[in-house]
Every structure is written in structure tokens, then in C-alpha cells.
Amino acid sequence: MLRKLLTQTSSRRLLTSGVPPLFSKSTISPFSSLSSSPEPPSSENSTVEQPGTTISVDRSALYNPPDHSHESTPDSELVKHLKSIIKFRGGPISVAEYMEEVLTNPKAGFYMNRDVFGAQGDFITSPEVSQMFGEMIGVWTVCLWEQMGRPERVNVVELGPGRGTLMADLLRGTSKFKNFTDSLHIHLVECSPALQKLQHQNLKCTDESSSEKKAISSLAGTPVHWHATLEEVPSGVPTIIIAHEFYDALPVHQFQKSSRGWCEKMVDVGEDSKFRFVLSPQPTPASLYLMKRCTWATPEEREKLEHVEISPKSMDLTREMAKRIGSDGGGALIIDYGMNAIISDSLQAIRKHKFANILDDPGSADLSAYVDFPSIKHSAEEASENISVHGPMTQSQFLGSLGINFRVDALLQNCNDEQAESLRAGYWQLVGDGEAPFWEGPDEQTPTGMGTRYLAMAIVNKNQGIPAPFQ
């Protein structure tokens, strides 16, 4: 079945965008002030030290021009809203609350009212690079469905589906396997009305019940439902959850070691009416609770750190997923950029494919942080005894083991020279710097890509064995 999945030709064009991947979405008065302006990279590539490992961030496609404008501009509605919260509280707000408002404020959040993906947006994700990515996720989903015993009904849930590109490619790639597609009920967890419309279009949906936010995708005759949260997705049915570049956008609390101990980094309004970072003068409830919960990191690891990022929403989401999988069967696939270690200080902003100041013009730039994969594993295992966690492994290993090399070889048999060049470029963007490459790179330089910067982890019901390709 794997070979059949990999060699069939889909009706979609061979490759989507050929634009290089922008994987990087990459301190305090009492409330002591910190500088909020990021230092420009000294070279195209820079490294961030972490205990026992090093993050290498490719900044070659990004440019961070200095901002010397001193002209006053009227505050946006979101800025006014954030300032009113700080004024009402009588003090600063956490980085997590700032991040949540900036990204998902119903009226002015970054994701809420426009298409932010692709060359004309702010960043590019793997499904927009090549159709092969969504097809490989389809291979993984079919394999897991078979391990589940081929249930007659299964909920396939995608968290934060963007334009719907990944799900569209998954459905096209698996459309010939009728027993599988006939079992599917697609559930898209999306809070943005603008992106819901794009997903509806790209999945070629016809409305069946607007009141229930239900439609039918003509790609495979599959029911499609929309929800604001995972909790809204019906339970009691075997479930496969896909979370691609979703965890990195979940709010993080930041903590910094000081002479007073661990203090929380927060966002305040300075005397110049601009946002600034400050340190709490004493431990906050979040610092007292979350630092104690950080049990997946050894005391030695924490002792070496000056900064720590923790995402309680990531941990809560993982627990919900694990409980559902443990009781109903199924599994979850998480692919994101992150580390198999505790995260120090990775929050960053990207606007129009360039690094931006995190506090500058909130709502106009994407905010994201590295994913702490050990915290995901710890939270899942804590929530249910009926699940097992596998990985993380690199995206390159994941895609290579699923057979992306066979798929690209099959596609090359049916394309012209221009399409072949785009196909190879997309392949390298997905697996570059990894262990799956099918071709040796150009003589002058081996292309870099998402292959090792993105990690894949699976959470599955124990009764189903070890999922592909983690065996």
C-alpha cells in the first residue's frame, strides 16, 4: 500500500511555491526595564546556545533594517486595547497574554482577518512548499488507520490548518483508497473567519449545514466541520490529530533569573507611551507554579539557564489530546520547529519575511517560539496511561522513512524540465540538511532547508503498537 500511495500521480500541479522556506518565526524598574530592540545578526547565520545543544538559525533570507523613524503615529485599535488592559490592571501583562492578544484578538489579531501565508504573506510553511508534504502526511494517516484496525469512522482533526493546503493534498493523495476516505470525518480547528473561508475554497467544499459549520469536500466526498477549539470536536470516535506548525504559535510565559530569583518577563507601557519589557519585582503566580511544573528538565539544566520559556497552553492541549487518544483510540502527529530540550529564549516576530521587533506594531507580525518537545512528551504521559509517545525525529528522517524519495522519483517521470527543477527545489526545502536526500546537492553548495530544524513526534494509543515511521 505504501508503494501505491507514493507512486500514484495526483491531479494537482507538481509543486507549489518555489520561494525559500522561512522557518524561523525567531530582554527588564521595581519593574526593571529591558531593551526591546533585537540585535541585528552579525552574519547570515547565527547560533543560539542551549544546554547540551546549539540551535542554528538560518537568517540568509531575512533582513532586519534599522528603524530610525521618530514620527508619531496614531495607535491602532489593538494597541489601544493592549494599553487599556495594562492601565486597568494597574501594571504589566505577561508575555503570554500579549502574544495571545496579538495573534488571535477577534478584531485585530494577526491571524484573524487575512491570509498571512506564502510569498505575498509573512512566512511560508511546508505544505506551501510542495504537495509532497501533505501527501506524506496522508501516507502516515493511512498507515495509522490500518494499525487502528481500519475503523469504519474516524475523525481526522487538523489544528490550525492555514489555507487548508495540507488537508487538500492529503485528501487528493489518498482519494483512491475508498475504504479509508469513506471513513473520514474532517474536523478543522480554526479561530480565524478569514482562514476558514480559504479552507472552504481550497477543500472545494459545498455547504451542507451553515448553522453547524458543516460542508462536504468534493476532493473525496468527505464531511468537513469547523470548530474554534479541540474540545468542540465530538469525542467517542477514533481520532487522528495533525498539528503542523501549531504549537509554535501557542502563548509562552518567559522567565529570567535575577538577584531576586526567577522573575517573570512582562510587557508594560513606558513613559514614552511605547511598549517595553520589564521584570516582575517579585515572583508571579505563573513563575511559582510553572517553574515547579518544569519537571522534565533536570535541576542541572535549569541551573545553567538565565532564561526559560514555558507554554502552559501547549501542555493543556497535549493533555486533552492524550486523554482523547487514550480513551477513543487513534493518534496525534506533531511537526514543528523546536528542540528536544528545555527552551531558553526563542520568541521572535516575522513581518513580510523579515525579522521584526516583537513589540513594534502588534498585530502586523507573526509571533512564535520554539517548541519544547520534552514538555509535550511529559504532559501526554502524565495525562493518560493508555498512550505512548514516540520521537522526536527530524522532519528529514520522518519524510524519508515514509518514502518521499519514491514519491519524488515517480513525479519526475511525468514532468518537464522546469517542473523537475521546481520539484527538486521543493524537495530540498523539505529535507535539506537532513538524512533523506535523494540527490546529492549542487556542487557549489548543499542547500539548507527544514529537514533538521523541524521535528516530528507521535502520540498514539498503546494498543496500536508503534506508528510508522518510528519503529
- Return per-residue pLDDT of the chain as tens, 471 residues: 554 555 454 433 333 333 333 333 333 444 555 644 344 333 344 444 444 444 444 544 444 444 444 455 688 999 999 999 999 988 999 999 999 999 999 988 888 877 656 555 555 678 888 899 999 999 999 999 999 999 999 999 999 999 999 999 999 999 999 999 999 999 999 999 889 999 999 999 998 765 567 899 999 899 999 999 999 999 999 999 999 999 999 999 999 988 888 899 999 999 999 999 999 988 888 888 777 767 777 777 777 888 999 999 999 999 999 999 999 999 999 999 999 988 889 999 988 778 889 999 998 888 999 999 999 999 999 999 999 999 999 999 999 999 999 999 999 998 888 888 888 888 888 998 765 555 454 443 444 678 889 999 999 999 999 999 998
**Domain spans in the chain, listed from the N-terminal domain onward:** 2-21+124-240+316-329+388-464, 32-47+66-119+250-312+340-373
DSSP 431-465: HTTSS--SSPPPSS-PPP-STTTEEEEEEEEGGG-
**pLDDT at site 60:** 45
**pLDDT at site 33:** 55
Q: Which parts of 151-221 are beta strand (E)?
A: 154-159, 184-189, 205-209, 214-217
Q: How far apart are the first and last CA of the chain?
A: 18
> What SS3 class is residue 141?
helix
Neighbours of 15 (CB within 10 A): 22
Regarding beta strands 275-279 and 261-269, do their DSSP bridges make them parallel or antiparallel, or are they unpaired? Answer: antiparallel
Q: Per-residue b/e over 290-313, b at no fewer than 16 CB within 10 Å?
A: bbeebebbeeebeeebebbbbbbb
Fold annotation for 2-21+124-240+316-329+388-464: Rossmann fold (3.40.50)
- CA neighbor of 332 nearest in space, from 260, 380, 281, 262: 380
**pLDDT at site 16:** 37
> What SS3 class is residue 261?
strand
The Cα-based distances of 51 to 25, 255, 259, 392 in angstroms read 21, 16, 21, 18
**pLDDT at site 126:** 83
What are the φ/ψ torsions at residue 380 (nearest 5 degrees)?
-65, -45
Q: Show the cell assigned to 392.
A: 522526536
Cis peptide before 392 (omega within 30 of 0): yes
Neighbours of 71 (CB within 10 A): 4
Residue matched to cell numbers 539557564: 305
Q: Show the cell assigned to 322.
A: 492524550
Nearby residues of 52 by Cβ (< 8 Å), 6 or more positions away: 301, 341
CA distance 15 to 104: 31
> What SS3 class is residue 275?
strand
Asked, colleague to colleague, whether 2-21+124-240+316-329+388-464 and 32-47+66-119+250-312+340-373 share their fold, the answer is: yes
CATH 3.40.50.12710 correct for 32-47+66-119+250-312+340-373:
yes
Bridge partners (DSSP) of residue 338 are 371
Identity of the residue numbered 446: T
**pLDDT at site 342:** 86
Degrees to nearest 5, angle at CA 437 with 431 and 442: 100
Q: Per-residue b/e over 31-40, b at no fewer than 16 CB within 10 Å?
A: beeeebebee
CA distance 146 to 448: 35
Q: Tell me the whole-structure pTM to 2 decimals.
A: 0.82
